[in-house]
Chain A
């Protein structure tokens, strides 16, 4: 295990085989009787090891519920979730999650925050410390190692949370809209940062978003989700090499096609939220939007 932590090459080579995730005939809902809401209905998909899968869907469709099921905070009503063939029974370090909201411990200095997972399992050797130092330098937090999270900006906090998750080498990395609420500039930088970090140590990742451009920038594979009750409506492979940029995406023919496909799939789900005359208005607006992208 210690060797695994210290030699990065070995761990990178090992990543590709870890984190094969299967979601089978999944059902989940909240409430009882008349108050019952079905959130997930017969949802099935697989996450390929070493691939970045982006899950996109209308907001409020149940993506975060699925993330919590995967993390083990919730137990499914029916169906199974498996990682590398094992059932998910509760929270565990093989699946680490980065949330929408910051979950750094304000009373620990940043380095201690990053080391928390290793401290909790008593795995802190000199090698682990070096890795944290290297990762923090890598994401531009080197000077803030002995400061508290309160002194960091929103974007820096997000990066620190990623470092904290990454040093634990999870088999599956779950990111639930991690860049939501950041300003546009920081968000773009964070996306580039994240894509680069992913390329350097490919590990199975599920990235949840509502932003099409973000999905296209990052994904190996895109899962378009239906509105509630949620299931996968389309699965689109993005076989465009990284690094990708927003500017490059406008020129690239393949990217344009993928974007239209994702937009259409997403649109047919989003339109269900409108009714009657407002649906016609929304549809007209969408046609105009498609014209501009083609």
Chain B
């Protein structure tokens, strides 16, 4: 019966119109997105280049920034054509990467254990809650005193912020699992390890991933702050030196690049999440 339906001309037409509608929806989304960007650039252009409003007087306009960015021979020494540009990106990416991976490797297991075992929670959570509100920047002196060189303090500060966000969300994820699922698994004869690995871990995973998104965000945040304090390369350093050397278009190049790179890293996390959480995708009436 299914085959008959599929070959039926009406069914084919319906399928075709469904694809067309999906394409139209995607088109509309892209149009809206472009319109949003256009508005922002127009605002920038009008305030700086056309009206030259007092507060915007010192800023470079979009035309200046983009001609610098795409110039093979940039006035202030940094563009798509200079290796330095990629060197800065690479440094920041590597630091965020190392810090984020470390925070995930330590934070997810600790968070899940805190959520799963009351005893671990009683030992660790009060200390955890005391350390968590301390902003990463407050750790700067300690980081510099504890670690030598320029790389490790920066990575440490980036790691700290990411770690707390990851661990907290993993804990909440483990605690949010429907108790009837745990009961059912126990009833079916699951031991503690199987309960943890097959029920607690997958059950907490959606929240773990929302924790990773937050963690990545705060990792970039504290990375840039740390790079402004110390470091010789990196986008935060680039922006900071752009200010002190008065090479203003470079500040904008650094900022926009940060936005793009940060967005791309979060897309990578979302793709991994999508691949691991396949079961969330064919929920009836859920996200599709």
Contacts and interface: CB of A to CB of B under 8 A. Distances in A.
A159 to B, nearest CB: 16
B284 A150 contact: yes
Interface in A104-154: 105-109, 116-117, 120-121, 147-148, 150-153
B260 interface: no
Interface in B167-192: 178, 180-181, 183-191
Interface stretch (A15-23, A28-36, A93-101, A227-235): A93-101
Contacts of A120: 185, 188-191, 194
B189 A121 contact: yes
Nearest to A115: B188
Given A93-B188, A150-B286, A101 B180 contact: yes
A71 B199 contact: no
B282 A150 contact: yes
A208 B286 CA distance: 32
A201 interface: no
Given A103-B180, A105-B181, A105-B199, A97 B187 contact: yes
Contact of A151 (B178, B185, B283): B283
A170 to B, nearest CB: 9
A164 interface: yes
Contacts of B180: 99, 101, 103
A147 B188 contact: no
A101 B179 CA distance: 11
A286 interface: no
Nearest to A152: B284
Contacts of B184: 97, 99, 103, 105
Interface string A59-102: 00000000000010100000000000000000111011101010
| Chain A interface size range | 20 to 34
Contacts of B185: 105, 116, 120
Contacts of A53: none
B97 interface: no
Contact of B189 (A93, A99, A107, A151): A93
Interface string B248-288: 00000000000000000000000000000111101110100
Contacts of A71: 187
A162 to B, nearest CB: 13
B205 interface: yes
Contact of A117 (B188, B203, B284, B286): B188
A209 interface: no
A226 interface: no
Contacts of B279: 106-109, 148, 150
A105 B203 CA distance: 8
Contacts of A97: 184, 187
B202 interface: yes
B283 A91 contact: no
Contacts of A109: 279
Interface string B191-235: 100100011001101000000000000000000000000000000
Contacts of A73: 183
Nearest to A101: B180
A153 B180 CA distance: 19
Contact of A147 (B178, B181, B194, B282): B282
- Which residue, of A103, A109, A148, has the highest number of chain B Cβ atoms within 10 A? A103
Nearest to B188: A117
A151 B284 contact: yes
15 contacts: A73-B183, A92-B187, A92-B189, A93-B188, A103-B178, A103-B181, A103-B183, A105-B203, A106-B279, A116-B185, A117-B189, A120-B188, A120-B191, A150-B279, A168-B189
Interface of A: 71, 73, 91-93, 95-97, 99, 101, 103, 105-109, 116-117, 120-121, 147-148, 150-153, 164, 168
Interface of B: 178, 180-181, 183-191, 194, 198-199, 202-203, 205, 277-280, 282-284, 286
10 shortest A-B CB distances, which residue pairs? A150-B283, A103-B184, A117-B188, A107-B202, A148-B279, A120-B190, A93-B189, A120-B189, A103-B180, A107-B279
Given A106-B283, A152-B284, 14 more contacts: A91-B183, A91-B187, A96-B187, A97-B187, A99-B180, A99-B184, A103-B183, A105-B203, A106-B280, A107-B277, A120-B188, A120-B191, A150-B279, A150-B286
